[in-house]
Amino acid sequence: MANKSAISGLRILLGVSGGVAVYKAVDLASKLTAAGAQVDTIMTDNACRFVLPKSFEAVTCRPVFTSMWEPSLKGFEIGHISLADSADMVVVAPATANIIGKMACGICDDLLSTTLCACWQKKILLAPAMNEKMWTNPAVQKNVESLKVAGITIIGPEKGRLACGTEGVGRMSEPADILEKLIKMK
């Protein structure tokens, strides 16, 4: 387990995009909270199809944001800007090909992509997760390289058993490894 003081008191924005690895993001949120961070979670619509927002609320003791138009954003002047401004660091796990593409191209069509667009000056860690055929797609690799050039840190993906049952590169890094990488970025 990470040293609690390393990220204690930091406000971490956890972006959760829609892939089967969403279940690992709940564990990551729990580990970040246990290490003393305040975790604000934004889930895409597709992420909510894999795991309910209540799972993140339970492990972080914080509201979860899923829409630009939800009532829980009323306390913020401009929701996506307030969420971006309040974050000390940003983690996107799992980072699907879709959210990676949106980030690389500046596409803002939901709360997560809009907030991430406003976070470009923050320390950002992406944990990609997708099938190897998607990960090796030249367009995805171009987007990843573009984000690296912009200063975004990437962890993984790892080799192992994929959701489709085959072995390959595409598994999201383990939550403990993501936490350690985040601490090193601090």
Strand 89-95 vs strand 64-65: parallel, antiparallel, or unpaired?
unpaired
CB 68 within 8 A of CB 76: no
What are the DSSP calls for 71-89, one per residue?
GGGTTSSSHHHHHHHH-SE
Residue with tokens 């049952």: 165
Catalytic amino acids?
164
4, containing H or E segment: helix 4-7
Q: Which string of b and e fits 115-128 if b means at least 16 CB within 10 Å?
A: bbbbbeebbbbbbb
Strand 158-161 vs strand 167-171: parallel, antiparallel, or unpaired?
antiparallel
